[in-house]
Chain A
């Protein structure tokens, strides 16, 4: 329970960003998750990313489904509107919210049960529609709030805390997102903040459907030997393809890199994503290659992480719907109601 309010007084010397906010201004209430939960690290990474990007907290709408991961939006961006929706259905609520006001930043937080089981359908369709959002799955392969049942992302053959073996094939949400048309797809690990924070920043800047699968160990129910979502297992099998820098619009590029070690992908808004290659042959602008690579590594028992795919000119839902630039929720009666004269004309045609 969130009975513990955080102290409102901040240290006077805390660094401030361009908006005059400290990192603390991006926090929410105290987390009520288990000590050591991977999700809290992700919360920390979201806070850091938003602080460093000078995002006005109230311009972010944070939405979630149901489950441990879906509780986390309370723990960051306390000045943002949040919506804890129903199990597996956050994507539809986010889609409607985005349709109503295209000017806000939409952050959807979900879990593997929420997105890969009950919400698989909505997960698929929100990607297909290219809703402009950052969709983070905090993936621990297990149902935490209901105490340790396997989820649909648990690998076949992995062992539950009570010793049961998972007989079902796992769902890889990264592959699904790639196939379904997400235009920014990344995987990371809650234990690797250096990798995670830039990936979140890139996703927040991306003007289309951005998906992040963040493996986030559950210390209470899925951190034992035989689990493929434990801290130890992920550290051992993590195969990062690249490390990422996000370069804001019109920043001067000064550093020089050796040829072939860096891939730069210009974004639609003029900003730049720079990837320092760790896997020399990897091309993050090639969707088919990304799908193959992820599966090849999976067959070897490795988890490919990093920015796996980004499209430089994504289309989003509003492009498809051809909506006006003004957010729909700001249109006034004059713009919406055709009035009685038009109705009389309409009547004429019905006689």
Chain B
């Protein structure tokens, strides 16, 4: 029988029951490989449930540092009888199945093209522990110990990680170490160690850091100067607010008074969340909310008010699949249009598309500058895949010389010096007008904030000319935004190509891997990563330079492509959508397969027959 042989390049998947305490053991496993200098990208695939439903933790180990989901599975750790059949079916031929052999299984429940490794986990745990909770928790550590032997993971790395985890709680340290060795010793004595897949110490991790996008985006809000957050719990964005609270407790408590230099309100719903953010921002504080698709729907009326009344607001949208009873724990990029045009009337909004946690941090911080400068809502669109999974990325950095851009705000001194003030008067010709914070000056600069029924001096009017004048200025402001938002990233093919591919957000790692594979298959294609809307001039120039452009997205309706056609006036016939929207993260195999196949239709030669052209692979 074939046996998958691979060092530092494989996928292992843990099938667990949620609420069984497997998450921390699985993270421990993944991190120990990272500590050996080998890049990993773990992903939680979990249900909208707290206890009892199936959950998976998939770890891709990749010496080359590929962080996108690969698809397929080389070693399945099947700990959940409920999902046994699909779990066994998912293993690649020649791959491995690790399972709890306490209860005998009929041969019919296995496959004859995979290697089966049984370990009587329940029997071992029950013999060692009598407390049911301990049995459950230590069973997880015992299988990590067994895997360390099967995959040749350095035990000291795992021990160090356990020691870090239980720092200050030393009583828990010893039993965990004991359980680890119990599993390891059993495997060394009874199982075929090592397997064909294994880990060898490397040096490909370096200074990289490992964190969730949601935590990074929350830290970006701290560094960006946000002092106010209002939110309503919704998966997958709740951990943004929780991380913001945690970071604030660390970085934002006045050491003298122990008072907080921040305010966080868990609101009664998303309407109140965005309302509070608008109130705080109107009053001159940097403020944000975090939510997901259904929350955006609820916030829509207020988003319109903020657009027309020109109030800065940062909205972090961690996208998920569909409605409340959709797939809230699955990933998608399906709120692009909903955010770009959120609300009634003629509205358009600034969107940022971070690719990884590092960029989550950077985009969150810069979003406050953009919101203040443009006096408008700014959306940071991440998704569950980067938001809720820990991801390796370059270390976070901050330039201490950097200053916040608070935009055009008239101070007491400006007003006292007689600066002409009209809240909606375009003094500089860039569509952006000056504002004042409430309470600035006893006699000057006060104004009444409303939607659009006002003139350049914020006086009430329902005059059509004043309305059009204002709407035209808002368009000028949107033009100004194009030069302020992050520029696209170019990834050129070795040779000039008439083909191009556009991608954005969490598609990044899979796309980068697909580009290398396509290049290996002698397909030259230029790539452009869009990082913001409105589109920078460079985006349209680039698209116009290419004869044919693929637009890779994780939604059904090719939403970014729609924006490119509608706002960039690009010819739709030259934009081919490549769409992945089943709720799982897009893979390099999928992108590569789709592009190779469609390029075949363009008669691109040579198109080598490779595994690459095999299709979706899922």
Residue ranges of A at the interface with B (Cβ–Cβ < 8 Å): 1-2, 29, 56-59, 61, 63, 73-74, 78-86, 89, 91-101, 103-104, 121-122, 124-125, 129, 317-318, 321-325, 328-329, 331, 333, 335-340, 342-344, 346-347, 350-351
Contacts and interface: CB of A to CB of B under 8 A. Distances in A.
Interface centre among A1, A29, A83, A103 (most CB of B within 10 A): A83
Interface in B181-235: 205, 207-211, 219, 222-223, 225, 227-228, 230
Interface of B: 34, 205, 207-211, 219, 222-223, 225, 227-228, 230, 251-252, 254, 257-265, 267-269, 271-285, 287, 301-302, 305, 395-400, 403-404, 436-443, 446-451, 459-462
A86 B450 CA distance: 9
Contacts of A347: 207, 209, 395-396
Contacts of B436: 81
Contacts of B287: 96, 100
A338 B255 CA distance: 13
A97 B438 contact: yes
A74 B448 CA distance: 7
B524 to A, nearest CB: 37
Contacts of A344: 395
Given A1-B461, A328-B285, A351-B210, A100 B280 contact: yes
A1 B284 contact: no
17 contacts: A57-B442, A58-B446, A80-B438, A81-B447, A83-B279, A96-B230, A97-B280, A99-B228, A99-B265, A104-B438, A122-B272, A328-B227, A328-B285, A333-B404, A337-B223, A343-B396, A351-B210
A99 B285 contact: yes
Nearest to A98: B279
B285 to A, nearest CB: 4
A336 B446 contact: no
B27 to A, nearest CB: 13
A325 B275 contact: no
A210 to B, nearest CB: 18
A89 to B, nearest CB: 5
B218 to A, nearest CB: 12
Nearest to A129: B265
* CB-based closest 3 A-B pairs: A96-B279, A92-B275, A96-B276
Nearest to B206: A351
Contacts of B258: 322
B366 to A, nearest CB: 13
B288 to A, nearest CB: 11
A337 B225 contact: yes
Contacts of A321: 260, 263-265
Interface centre among B258, B260, B399 (most CB of A within 10 A): B260
A335 B252 CA distance: 8
A94 B279 contact: yes
Given A80-B438, A350-B209, A95 B265 contact: yes
Nearest to B230: A96
Contacts of A63: 279
- Interface of B, secondary structure class, is loop
Contacts of A346: 219, 396
B278 A93 contact: yes
A92 B305 CA distance: 14
Contacts of A121: 268-269, 272
Nearest to B394: A347
A204 to B, nearest CB: 15
A336 B253 CA distance: 10
Given A84-B449, A96-B275, A337-B225, 5 more contacts: A100-B284, A329-B280, A333-B403, A346-B219, A347-B207
A101 B260 contact: no
B68 to A, nearest CB: 20
A121 B298 CA distance: 14
A100 B228 contact: yes
B225 A333 contact: yes
A93 B279 contact: yes
Nearest to B462: A1
A1 B210 contact: no
A73 B446 CA distance: 13
Nearest to A349: B209
B437 A329 contact: yes
Contacts of B439: 58-59, 61, 81, 101, 103-104
Contact of B397 (A99, A129, A323, A340): A340
A102 to B, nearest CB: 9
A328 to B, nearest CB: 4
Given A335-B261, A342-B251, A329 B403 contact: no
Nearest to B365: A337
A149 B458 CA distance: 31
A80 B210 contact: no
Contacts of B448: 73-74, 81-84
Contact of A96 (B252, B269, B278, B442): B278
B283 A101 contact: yes
Given A84-B450, A328-B263, A343 B397 contact: yes
A124 to B, nearest CB: 8
A334 B91 CA distance: 54
Given A337-B225, A343-B397, A56 B442 contact: yes
Contacts of B264: 321
Nearest to A95: B276
A245 to B, nearest CB: 29
B208 A351 contact: yes
Contacts of A89: 271-272, 275, 301-302
Contacts of A104: 283, 438-439
Contacts of A342: 251
Contact of B277 (A96, A333, A351): A96
B395 A93 contact: no
A47 to B, nearest CB: 16
Contacts of B399: 340
Nearest to B438: A81
Contacts of A350: 209-211
Contacts of B265: 95, 99, 129, 317, 321
